[in-house]
């Protein structure tokens, strides 16, 4: 009889474990599908953006055309900026033709995988399903994460690789072979963002060290040695495997270009960005906090509570990860000399984990202090969406405003009535609103900062011979224009342009600059730019 009871209990336990495994697997599947839909929806409908998109796409196209994937070039010159992993992804996409869709396809796919990876990291550090799921849902619906993840850029790919590194490091505590992936991921990050691997590697090392010493204090004695990642032979094997392609690629560049590569890549594009502001990208230390305030709402209102909760639960793995990652990464990028909006991307997984933990903590408590802020967001979104939609005759803006306003308003009402699962309403509403946004022409609003490049590029390709020189009087060079023209178009204006006016060149001039130019022949015109050729005296 006792044996039958024990067998029945064992069967029930196995059934429960199997059901939990199926739920966890299904969570990963639907999170992946939701992320891929959001990241791929109408992905190729808008032109490539200045700056990184146009530059990276041009380098990738030169790889695909020339077949040389080892020595990147940009319009015939050596490209010394960053390692080529993202360019390799894009060049692979170009096997299906060169377009906006194929440019963004594979980087966006890799970036989308960060969503389920954050969930699985959450499962390891929370040891619970709900806070991990809430964290992944927050990460899925953060506007800056979605926008930059959809672009043909490096940052979303680097975040995915970092989360994969953390996941394998956490799993290596029970299965040492997973540490192999930690070293491989470090190598892939180095091939994606160069010296960023140092900062992300430090975060991972400090976090895993805290985990090790926390286990030691519990009194596991010699058993704790197996939890120390640096004593895991698989880690060193993975570091060897991950470092090999990095060393080979960097070695090839140094052998070909020598000191030019050292100065151009390591000094100008890496170390100087840390110590000084290059290309006038100088901002105050609180710049990234302002970036979060601009684009992180409504989730950001729960972030301070999540950080405070992490401090109170700093003896738990999730709290340690949030505090270590936030302090080291936010502190480092805030002190850097060069500040760019996308540098903040690796911070958002820690932000999402903190907010997910707070939402889990407030699942039943329904914090009423957020009702007023949600009501304000609802009014602003509804009013702003309707006003802009009517003023600009853009129905999509009305739909986006209504979607965001109703989501925030309904969530506030649920909070007021102390209904559980209120955050799921906000999550679902934000997801639908983001689908509307990325399906419109408004998600890449930087395109409105200057003239439309595709009509100008079509004019140049139609009227200018491939071997001819083209310059522009525009205030700065546009990598996206260069990409669509398949040539480098430098800026030239004022006295330097006048000194070369008798040369056989073509000039892309802004309409309001025409009166300042010497005699010319007009060749073509768009709404914003005019293509002219000097009259030869």
Q: What pLDDT score was predicted for residue 328?
A: 96
> C-alpha distances in angstroms, 169 versus 82, 123, 186, 217, 228?
26, 13, 11, 20, 10
Q: What pLDDT score was predicted for residue 220?
A: 47
**For residue 7, is pLDDT > 70?**
no
Q: What is the pLDDT confidence band of residue 398, given thresholds at 50, 70 and 90?
A: confident
Percent of the chain's residues with pLDDT above 90: 60
Q: Do the beta carbons of residue 531 and residue 473 sit within 8 Å? A: no
Q: Do the beta carbons of residue 16 and residue 413 sit within 8 Å? A: no
Segment 384-413 mean pLDDT? 83
- List the single range of 5-14, 350-359, 403-412 with lowest mean pLDDT: 5-14
**For residue 217, is pLDDT > 70?**
no
Q: What is the pLDDT confidence band of residue 12, given thresholds at 50, 70 and 90?
A: low
Q: What is the pLDDT confidence band of residue 222, given thresholds at 50, 70 and 90?
A: very low
Q: What is the pLDDT confidence band of residue 537, given thresholds at 50, 70 and 90?
A: low
Strand partners for 521: 533
CA distance 204 to 472: 46
Q: Do the beta carbons of residue 439 and residue 42 sit within 8 Å? A: yes
CA distance 4 to 209: 46
The pLDDT tens digits of the residues spanning 41-85 come to: 999 999 999 888 999 999 999 999 999 999 999 998 999 989 999
Q: What is the pLDDT confidence band of residue 4, given thresholds at 50, 70 and 90?
A: low
DSSP character at residue 445: G
**For residue 305, is pLDDT > 90?**
yes
Contacts with 95 (C-beta within 8 Å, 6 or more apart), sequence order:
64
CA distance 239 to 43: 35
User: Which one, of 107, 11, 61, lies nearest residue 342 by Cα?
Assistant: 107
Segment 461-487 mean pLDDT? 92
Segment 304-332 mean pLDDT? 95
CA 223 to chain centre: 39
Within a 13 Å sphere around the CA of 217, how many CA atoms are in the beta-carbon half?
7
3-state SS of 97-147 is: CCCHHHHHHHHHHHHHCHHHHHHHHHHHHHCCHHHHHHHHHHHHCCHHHHH
Segment 237-257 mean pLDDT? 94
Q: Do the beta carbons of residue 89 and residue 102 sit within 8 Å? A: no
CA distance 303 to 301: 6
* Assigned token pair, 105: 């396809």
Q: What pLDDT score was predicted for residue 225?
A: 45
Q: What is the pLDDT confidence band of residue 391, given thresholds at 50, 70 and 90?
A: confident
Q: What pLDDT score was predicted for residue 15?
A: 54
Q: What pLDDT score was predicted for residue 387?
A: 78
- Which run of H or of E encompasses 520? strand 520-525
The pLDDT tens digits of the residues spanning 143-169 come to: 999 999 999 999 999 999 999 999 999
Q: Do the beta carbons of residue 124 and residue 208 sit within 8 Å? A: no
Question: Higher pLDDT residue, 1 or 132?
Answer: 132
Segment 494-511 mean pLDDT? 88
Q: In whole angstroms, how large is the CA radius of gyration of the chain?
A: 26
Whole-number average pLDDT of the chain: 88
Q: What pLDDT score was predicted for residue 369?
A: 85
Q: Do the beta carbons of residue 452 and residue 21 sit within 8 Å? A: no
Q: What pLDDT score was predicted for residue 51?
A: 81
Q: What is the pLDDT confidence band of residue 187, given thresholds at 50, 70 and 90?
A: very high
Q: What pLDDT score was predicted for residue 221?
A: 46
- Which run of H or of E encompasses 508? strand 505-510
**For residue 393, is pLDDT > 80?**
no
**For residue 223, is pLDDT > 50?**
no
CA distance 141 to 434: 7
CA distance 140 to 142: 6
The pLDDT tens digits of the residues spanning 415-469 come to: 888 887 888 999 999 999 999 999 998 999 988 888 999 999 999 999 999 889 9
3-state SS of 190-256 is: HHHHCCHHHHHHHHHHHHHHHHHHHHHHHCCHHHHHHHCHHHCHHHHHHHHHHHHHHHHHHHHHHHH
**Residue showing tokens 């729960």:** 302
CA distance 33 to 206: 33
Q: What pLDDT score was predicted for residue 399?
A: 87
Q: Do the beta carbons of residue 261 and residue 204 sit within 8 Å? A: no
Q: What is the pLDDT confidence band of residue 413, given thresholds at 50, 70 and 90?
A: confident
Q: What pLDDT score was predicted for residue 415?
A: 86
> C-alpha distances in angstroms, 305 versus 154, 326, 477, 495?
31, 14, 44, 57
For residue 298, whether the previous peptide bond is cis, meaning omega lies within 30 degrees of 0, is yes
CA distance 251 to 165: 25
Q: What pLDDT score was predicted for residue 285?
A: 87
- List the single range of 63-67, 192-196, 206-210, 420-424 with lowest mean pLDDT: 420-424
Q: What pLDDT score was predicted for residue 422?
A: 87
Q: What pLDDT score was predicted for residue 281?
A: 64
Q: What is the pLDDT confidence band of residue 491, given thresholds at 50, 70 and 90?
A: very high
């Amino acid at each position: 009889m006792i044996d039958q009871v024990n067998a029945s209990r064992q069967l029930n336990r196995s059934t429960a474990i199997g059901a939990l495994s199926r739920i966890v697997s299904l969570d990963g599947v639907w999170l992946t599908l939701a992320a891929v839909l959001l990241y791929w929806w109408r992905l190729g409908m808008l032109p490539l953006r200045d700056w990184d998109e146009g530059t990276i796409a041009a380098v990738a196209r030169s790889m695909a055309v020339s077949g040389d994937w080892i020595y990147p070039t940009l319009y015939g010159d050596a490209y010394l900026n960053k390692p080529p992993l993202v360019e390799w992804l894009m060049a692979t996409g170009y096997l299906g033709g060169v377009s906006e869709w194929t440019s963004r396809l594979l980087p966006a796919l890799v970036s989308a995988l960060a969503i389920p990876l954050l969930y699985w990291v959450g499962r390891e550090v929370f040891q619970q399903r709900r806070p991990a799921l809430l964290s992944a849902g927050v990460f899925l619906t953060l506007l800056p994460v979605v926008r930059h993840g959809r672009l043909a850029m490096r940052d979303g790919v680097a975040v995915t690789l970092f989360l994969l590194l953390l996941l394998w490091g956490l799993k290596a505590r029970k299965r040492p072979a997973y540490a192999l992936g930690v070293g491989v991921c470090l190598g892939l990050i180095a091939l994606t963002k160069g010296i960023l691997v140092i900062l992300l590697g430090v975060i991972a090392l400090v976090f895993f060290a805290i985990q090790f010493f926390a286990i030691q204090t519990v009194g596991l004695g010699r058993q704790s040695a197996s939890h120390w990642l640096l004593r895991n032979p698989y880690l060193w094997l993975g570091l060897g495997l991950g470092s090999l392609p990095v060393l080979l690629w960097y070695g090839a560049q140094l052998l070909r270009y020598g000191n030019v590569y050292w100065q151009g890549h390591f000094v100008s594009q890496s170390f100087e960005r840390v110590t000084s502001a290059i290309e006038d990208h100088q901002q105050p230390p609180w710049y990234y906090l302002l970036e979060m305030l601009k684009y992180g709402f409504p989730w950001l209102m729960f972030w301070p509570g999540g950080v405070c909760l992490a401090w109170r639960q700093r003896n738990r793995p999730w709290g340690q990860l949030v505090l270590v990652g936030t302090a080291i990464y936010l502190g480092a990028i805030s002190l850097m000399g060069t500040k760019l909006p996308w540098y903040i991307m690796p911070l958002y997984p820690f932000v999402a984990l903190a907010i997910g933990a707070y939402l889990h903590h407030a699942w039943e408590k329904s914090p009423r202090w957020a009702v007023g802020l949600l009501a304000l967001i609802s009014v602003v979104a509804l009013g702003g969406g309707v006003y802009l939609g009517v003023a600009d005759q853009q129905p999509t803006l009305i739909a986006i405003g209504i979607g965001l306003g109703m989501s925030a308003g309904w969530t506030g009402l649920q909070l007021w009535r102390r209904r559980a699962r209120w955050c799921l309403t906000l999550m679902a509403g934000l997801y639908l609103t983001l689908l509307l946004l990325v399906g419109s022409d408004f998600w890449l609003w930087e395109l409105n900062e200057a003239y439309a490049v595709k009509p100008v590029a079509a004019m140049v390709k139609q009227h200018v011979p491939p071997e001819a020189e083209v310059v522009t009087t525009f205030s700065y060079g546009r990598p996206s224009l260069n990409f669509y023209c398949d040539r480098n178009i430098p800026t030239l204006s004022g006295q330097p342009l006048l000194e070369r006016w008798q040369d056989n060149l073509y000039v892309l001039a802004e309409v309001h600059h025409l009166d300042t130019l010497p005699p010319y022949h007009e060749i073509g015109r768009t709404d914003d730019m005019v293509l002219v050729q000097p009259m030869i005296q």
